[in-house]
Amino acid sequence: MAKTTRHRAMMPPASGHLVDWRKKMSDHIAYALLAYTALQIFVTIGALKSHGSSLLPYLALIILVIAIIPACRRFEARWNRLSDEQAHDPGMAPYYRRDRLVLWAMAIGLPFALTGLFKGLALIFA
């Protein structure tokens, strides 16, 4: 029964069911943070092994944490400001897709981009 209820909640607005964009974005933020954290650990551990006792990977970890939390809070706040009417408006779908794409690009790309930047800096200044 729970499977059917979950399936219905995820049906598109055209089927007659109301979609709550706030909840959908909140779910994506939670999953993106989990993916981000796993990638951050995986990528940073690799950098720690390759650079020995350098402090750059630790600095990368701090910057990554500082960067992602405010960004996710902004996404969450933007979608939580919607009224109940706006939260169920099918016209919000393009904005939802755009924000979802940016969120996932950030969650997946940021650990690799910053770790690559710090690895490049380590090569330059080593």
Model pLDDT for residues 40-77, shown as the tens digit of each residue = 888 877 766 665 556 766 776 777 778 788 888 998 99
Q: Write the CB contacts of 63 (distance below 8 Å, at least 6 apart in sequence).
A: 114
pLDDT in tens, 13-45: 455 578 999 999 999 999 999 999 888 888 877
**Does 2 score more than 70 pLDDT?**
no
Q: What are the C-alpha distances in Å from 19 to residues 71, 91, 104, 107?
A: 24, 11, 20, 24
Task: State yes or no: pLDDT of 94 exceeds 60.
Answer: yes
Residue 111 CA to residue 28 CA, distance in Å, equals: 18
Separation of alpha carbons 106 and 82, rounded Å: 23
What does the pLDDT average to over 2-7? 45
Give the residue extent of every domain in the chain: 20-125
